[in-house]
Chains A and B, each alone.
Chain A
Amino acid sequence: MIGPLPQSQQSEWAIETHDLCKSFGHVSALQDITLRVPCGALVTVLGPNAAGKTTLLRVLATLTRPSTGRVLLQGLEVQGHDAALCNLIGWVGEQTLLYGHLSPQENLRFYGRMYGVDDLDTWIHALLNRLGVGERQEDPLHTLSRGMQQRVAIARAILHRPPLLLLDEPYSSLDRHGAAILSSLLGQLRDAGHTVLMTTHDLARASELGGEVLILLDGRLVQRLDPQRTADDLRAAYDRCTGERR
């Protein structure tokens, strides 16, 4: 269902940030974040509440402008609104970005038209079935549970086959079955060459997914753990980083 990405979309780094800072008034949400994420990687950003995880993803998704610093996605500098950048990004945030009075199918058809997706109806049908929403695809979205809406939001994010997926707490509201579907889908996307950067505050989830882990604390990137680390390494590093706060 998820095919490999076209070669033209490949470049060495999916995400590059240089001295990225973001402040809201006197509150500093991100401080001097410099990172590089290679194409095709699955990276989890881990941190306690208010660590700056959501702000980092929103800046990368072009939803929030950084105060200072540079962001490049697939080599393209993020400077205001750019259609080429929009096509690169698939976004799942705290909200579903879906219209309550429209059905999952109608919501996806709308977004598919906005992105100019080919063979839209077949692709929507396949995606919704893959995410277990096939039987409810014609019901108004507001009649679906929060977990089912989250599945539709995930379908919306990958609808235009973006090479870069930015997922902010994508497992929130999902039951065990939904979480298993998402984990399997993320693996499939990674195998197909998509880059996935997701946030979580759940150590077990970060450990289970594998891939690189970044620990964010008070808006600073304090630790980077490579994919070879064990679950115990991850727990020890997280405790060491956040120990002073608990």
Chain B
Amino acid sequence: MSYWRSVAAIVAKDVLAEARSREALSAMLLFALMVAVTFNLALELRIDNVLQIAPGLIWVAFVFAGVLGLNRSFAAEQDRACIEGLMLAPVDRSAIYIAKCISNTLFMLTAEALFLPVFSVLFRVPVGSPALWLVVFLGTVGFASAGTLFAAVAMNSRAREILLPLLLLPIVVPVLTAATRSTAQVLEGQTLAAYAPWLRLLLAFDIISVVIAVLTFEYVIEE
């Protein structure tokens, strides 16, 4: 079976399983909404200072919600040892990584697409700009690509809920920095030239992260 057909089969299986269970999506969305509502109640924000805090809040919500989703992603494969079924299949192990990365990115983007309009209402921040969605996309791909690899590392640990953020968050500091800064500049209405260096950093991180993960995933999921 061709590489990309295997990838498509795994992604389709993940989407179908998530459509049935809604375990990852509902956990991510509820967590992100709780962050937004809690901060909205806790901070008395005026219109002139909301733009200073909104980018950070958005990415804090995305990151911690994303960690929940990534943990669920491999927990589902651990349940009934399904990961062994994937390992026994005649497909390149990197195809499993690529598929899980695509699935995780899709689930995170869906949760983010549902979260941002609510955030916009709560904090009166405009979120319709295509530039903002580009930043969200690149940041999410970077986070999910590194996160999928580390979720596989943490999969066999009993303390995976703690281990995953401990391993992942230091690695994705460049993503968080670039995504938060560029989100702030987009919300302030600055031109593309102002935040283009951050977008380039996000793109570079995405590419490097995927390449390293593809090369190392086989060793990560083996016993």
Q: Is B208 an interface residue (CB 8 A)?
A: no
- Asked if A73 CB lies within 8 Å of chain B CBs, one says no
Question: Which residues, 140 to 157 on B, are CB-close (under 8 Å) to A?
Answer: none
**CB of A83 closer than 8 Å to a CB of B:** yes
Measuring CB to CB, which residues of chain B are less than 8 angstroms from any residue of chain A?
1, 5-6, 9-10, 12-13, 16-17, 20-21, 76, 79-82, 84-93, 218, 222-223
Q: In the complex, A91→B88 CA distance in Å? A: 8
With contact pairs A86-B90, A114-B6 given, residues A156 and B223 touching in the complex (Cβ less than 8 Å): no
Task: Tell which of B1, B13, B20 touches A115, judged by Cβ atoms closer than 8 Å.
Answer: B1
A-B contact pairs, 30 of them (CB 8 A): A63-B87, A63-B88, A81-B92, A83-B90, A84-B90, A86-B89, A91-B84, A93-B81, A94-B81, A95-B80, A95-B81, A96-B81, A97-B82, A97-B85, A97-B88, A98-B80, A98-B85, A100-B79, A101-B16, A101-B17, A101-B21, A102-B13, A102-B16, A102-B17, A106-B13, A106-B16, A113-B6, A114-B10, A114-B86, A116-B90
A13 interfacial by beta-carbon distance below 8 Å: no
Q: What is the CA–CA distance of A81 and B18 in the complex, to the nearest angstrom? A: 29
B38 to chain A, nearest CB (A): 31
**Chain B, residue nearest A64 (CB):** B223
Task: Give every chain B residue within 8 A of A102 (Cβ-Cβ).
Answer: 13, 16-17, 20
Task: Evaluate contact between B88 and A87: CB separation under 8 angstroms.
Answer: no
Interface check A110, CB cutoff 8 A:
yes
- Please, how many angstroms separate the alpha-carbon atoms of A14 and B118 in the complex? 61
| A111 near B85: Cβ-Cβ < 8 Å | yes
Q: Taking the nearest CB of chain B, how far is it from the CB of A162, in angstroms?
A: 10
Q: How far is the CB of B97 from chain A (nearest CB, A)?
A: 13
Q: Give every chain B residue within 8 A of A106 (Cβ-Cβ).
A: 13, 16
Known contacts A97-B80, A99-B76, A99-B79; can you find 10 more A-B pairs with CB under 8 A? Answer: A62-B88, A63-B87, A63-B88, A64-B223, A83-B90, A84-B90, A101-B21, A110-B13, A114-B86, A115-B1
Contacts of B89 in A (CB 8 A): 86, 111, 114-115
**How many cross-chain pairs have Cβ atoms below 8 Å apart between A and B?**
83
CB 8 Å contact bits of A5-17 with B (1 = contact, 0 = none) = 0000000000000
Check if B16 sits within 8 Å of A156, measured CB to CB.
no
Known A-B contacts A102-B13, A114-B89; A97 and B84 likewise in contact (beta carbons under 8 Å): yes
Interface size class of A (residues with CB under 8 A): 20 to 34
User: A87 to B21, alpha carbons, bound, how many Å?
Assistant: 31
Q: A100-B79, A113-B5 are in contact. Are A61 and B88 (CB under 8 A)?
A: yes
Contact yes or no, B20 A101, CB < 8 A: yes
A136 at the A/B interface (Cβ < 8 Å)?
no
Residues of B within 8 A of A100 (CB): 79-80
Q: Which parts of A26-68 form the interface with B (CB within 8 Å)?
A: 61-65
A83 touches B91 (CB 8 A): yes
Question: Chain B residues with Cβ under 8 A from A84's Cβ?
Answer: 90
Q: Which residues of A contact B1 (CB under 8 A)?
A: 113-116
| A140 close to B (CB within 8 Å) | yes
Contact (Cβ within 8 A) B84 A93: yes
| B residues in contact with A113, CB < 8 Å | 1, 5-6, 9
